[in-house]
C-alpha cells in the first residue's frame, strides 16, 4: 500500500514462524477508503484485506492467534463487531482485544484490525 513508505511502517513483518500484521482498514486494491458511514461494510472489507495479507504468507485464518480490534463508537458497534469477528473465524477462537477509540487515521474510518499469525501451525481454513 502507498502509505507504507509514506508513514514508515510495514503491512506485515515475519519474524521466524510468526507474522505480525499491522492494523488493517477498509480499502480497495488501490488504497482508496471503502465504506464511509457503513460499519459492517468496513469490518467485512477490513477482514477481506486481512485475508490478502494472510495469502501473502501462505497462511489461513485458523493460524491467527491474536487480533486487536480498534473501534470508534464501541458501545454502538460492539454487537456487530463481535458477530462479524465470530463469523470470520467460525469455530476458531483466537485471543482478541477489542478497544474503543476516540479516533482513527482516516476521518470516516470506524474500525482497524491487527493480527498475530503463527505460521508453524497447520492451516486448514
Tell which residue, 58, 74, 69, 57, has the closest CA to residue 94. 69
The long-range contacts involving 83-88, CB below 8 angstroms and separated by at least 24 positions, are 84/40, 84/43, 84/44, 84/47, 88/47, 88/61
Cell of residue 11, nine digits: 503491512
pLDDT at 3: 62
- pLDDT tens digit sequence for 62-72: 999 999 999 99
Domains of the chain, start order: 7-118 (3.30.1330.40)
- pLDDT tens digit sequence for 26-49: 999 888 999 999 999 999 999 999
pLDDT at 71: 98
Model pTM score: 0.93
- Answer whether 113's CB lies under 8 Å from 39's CB: no
Amino acid at each position: 500500500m502507498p502509505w507504507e513508505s509514506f508513514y514508515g511502517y510495514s503491512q506485515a513483518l515475519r519474524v521466524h514462524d510468526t507474522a505480525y500484521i499491522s492494523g488493517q482498514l477498509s480499502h480497495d486494491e488501490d488504497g482508496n477508503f471503502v465504506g464511509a458511514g457503513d460499519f459492517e461494510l468496513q469490518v467485512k472489507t477490513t477482514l477481506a484485506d486481512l485475508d490478502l495479507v494472510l495469502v501473502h504468507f501462505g497462511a489461513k485464518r485458523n493460524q491467527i492467534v491474536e487480533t486487536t480490534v480498534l473501534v470508534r463508537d464501541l458501545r454502538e458497534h460492539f454487537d456487530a463487531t463481535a458477530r462479524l469477528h465470530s463469523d470470520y473465524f467460525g469455530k476458531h477462537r483466537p485471543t482478541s482485544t477489542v478497544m474503543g477509540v476516540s479516533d482513527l487515521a482516516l476521518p470516516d474510518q470506524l474500525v482497524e484490525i491487527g493480527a498475530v499469525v503463527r505460521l508453524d501451525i497447520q492451516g486448514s481454513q
